[in-house]
Amino acid sequence: VDQVALAVERTRLVADLGETRFLSETERLRQALLSSVSHDLRTPLVSIIGAASTLIESDAALGPEGRRQMAEAIREEGERLNRFVQNLLDMTRLGYGALRLNLDWVDLREVMGRATRQLGPVLRDHPVDIAVPASLGPIHIDAILMEQVMANLLDNAAKYAPAGTPITVAARRDGREVVIETSDAGPGIPPEDRERVFDMFYRVRAGDGQRAGTGLGLAICRGIVEAHGGRIKVGDAAGGGARIEIRLPSAGEPPTPPAPEETP
């Protein structure tokens, strides 16, 4: 009996320990989320309020070109907020395992077109080369979620690579798989960080504070790609930049024709 009581007690202790670990991990995530949300909401809001105030108070002095620049700044920061909120929503849905795919046969070039339009002025300092051959044909994905994956990857490339350097997106079939790669000419991601950059809130250059970011983008990309049954990983681009490779194992499979009916 003592043995049994001991075993029960031990199990309870282990469970308590697990619970405490779980809680402190949740608490850590909650803190990280709060500070990231307040920082990432406030930064674009400050720009929007600043640009709007300039428009109102210095309207005469600005001239048409100045007014256009202010309006563009407001739109760009508004779109940044929009992407951030979208990422937060996705993260919540991923966390609850409620990310449902709406699969369809789509043209990846159209998805890329929407992703680049969504980013708008964010890409203004980088030539973007989208090398998706027509021969790729339609692929089987959730177009809206994959647009977001591609927008997050392009956003990162534009954010971390120096102005003027090109960003490339290439897609091909590899057997049944569809492979999509983005490459940039930035600092790249060091090998020791290549797994962790897909963790929520993980940032390689967290300390420098130069580039606004939440550390959510790649975690969401991974969630969406894995929901498609695919994989995402970091490699080196020629020249040392970051190369992000997505493999979608069944996105290129043609729909199976209905089995012929057997005649009795």
Q: Is 216 in the site for ligand ADP (CB under 6 A)?
A: yes
Among 214, 223, 228, 230, contact with ligand ADP (rule: CB under 6 A): 214
Task: Return the residues of window 146-165 that contact ligand ADP according to CB under 6 A.
Answer: 152, 156-157, 160
Q: Is 224 in the site for ligand ADP (CB under 6 A)?
A: no
Q: Is 205 in the site for ligand ADP (CB under 6 A)?
A: yes
CB of 220 to ligand ADP, least distance (A): 8
From the list 8-16, 50-58, 138-146, 208-216, the region that binds ligand ADP by CB under 6 A is 208-216
Distance (Å, whole) CA 166 – CA 157? 9
Q: Is 217 in the site for ligand ADP (CB under 6 A)?
A: yes
Check residue 120 and give left, alpha or beta (phi > 0: left; psi -120 to 50: alpha): left
Residue recorded with tokens 């964010």:
122
Distance (Å, whole) CA 32 – CA 37? 8
Q: Is 44 in the site for ligand ADP (CB under 6 A)?
A: no
Residue closer to ligand ADP, measured from CB, 70 or 87 = 87
Distance (Å, whole) CA 249 – CA 176? 6
Q: Is 123 in the site for ligand ADP (CB under 6 A)?
A: no
CB of 38 to ligand ADP, least distance (A): 15
Q: Is 232 in the site for ligand ADP (CB under 6 A)?
A: no
Residue closer to ligand ADP, measured from CB, 115 or 139 = 115
CB of 121 to ligand ADP, least distance (A): 18
How many of the chain's residues bind ligand ADP (CB under 6 A)? 22
Contact between 36 and 85 (Cβ < 8 Å): no
Interface residues with ligand ADP (CB under 6 A) are 152, 156-157, 160, 184, 186-189, 197, 202-205, 213-219, 242
